């Protein structure tokens, strides 16, 4: 998963913020500009989900809002998530 994210990010994720995926006991993926690591550092936005749920969101099989409403996707900040929504969608498309 980390390698797929690195490829999608390329030279710069274009987020303008740090984004961390908390894979619920299976590790972390931190995106900071063009840097993609597995560090558990503070981030502007943390998305918490299983790897399978993140894949389903990325593949369009699970709607992000439905995932949030059912607890399958946790957000550290709804306002930051809404501000990054279109850029995160672009990133998920690249990760397919």
What is the reported pTM?
A: 0.89
* CA-based nearest residue to 77, from 46, 40, 42: 46
Distance CA 78, CA 45 (A): 9
pLDDT at 94: 80
Q: What is the predicted pLDDT for the residue at 28?
A: 98
For the chain, list the domains and their CATH numbers: 2-95 (3.30.1050.10)
Interacting residues of 89 by C-beta distance below 8 A, sequence separation 6+: none
Q: Would you write out the chain's pLDDT as a tens digit for each of its 96 residues?
A: 899 899 889 888 889 999 999 999 999 999 999 899 999 999 999 999 999 998 898 888 999 899 999 999 999 999 999 999 888 888 888 877
Residue 8's pLDDT is what? 87
User: How many CB atoms sit inside 10 A of residue 79's CB?
Assistant: 9
**DSSP 8-class letter at 76:** S
pLDDT of residue 12: 86
């Amino acid at each position: 998963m980390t390698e797929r994210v690195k490829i999608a990010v390329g030279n710069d994720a274009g987020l303008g913020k740090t984004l961390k995926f908390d894979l619920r006991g299976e590790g972390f993926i931190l995106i900071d500009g063009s840097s993609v690591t597995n560090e558990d550092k503070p981030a502007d936005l943390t998305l918490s989900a299983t790897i399978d749920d993140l894949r389903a969101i990325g593949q369009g099989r699970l709607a992000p809002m439905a995932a949030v409403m059912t607890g399958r996707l946790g957000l550290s900040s709804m306002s930051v998530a809404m501000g990054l929504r279109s850029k995160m969608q672009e990133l998920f498309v690249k990760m397919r």
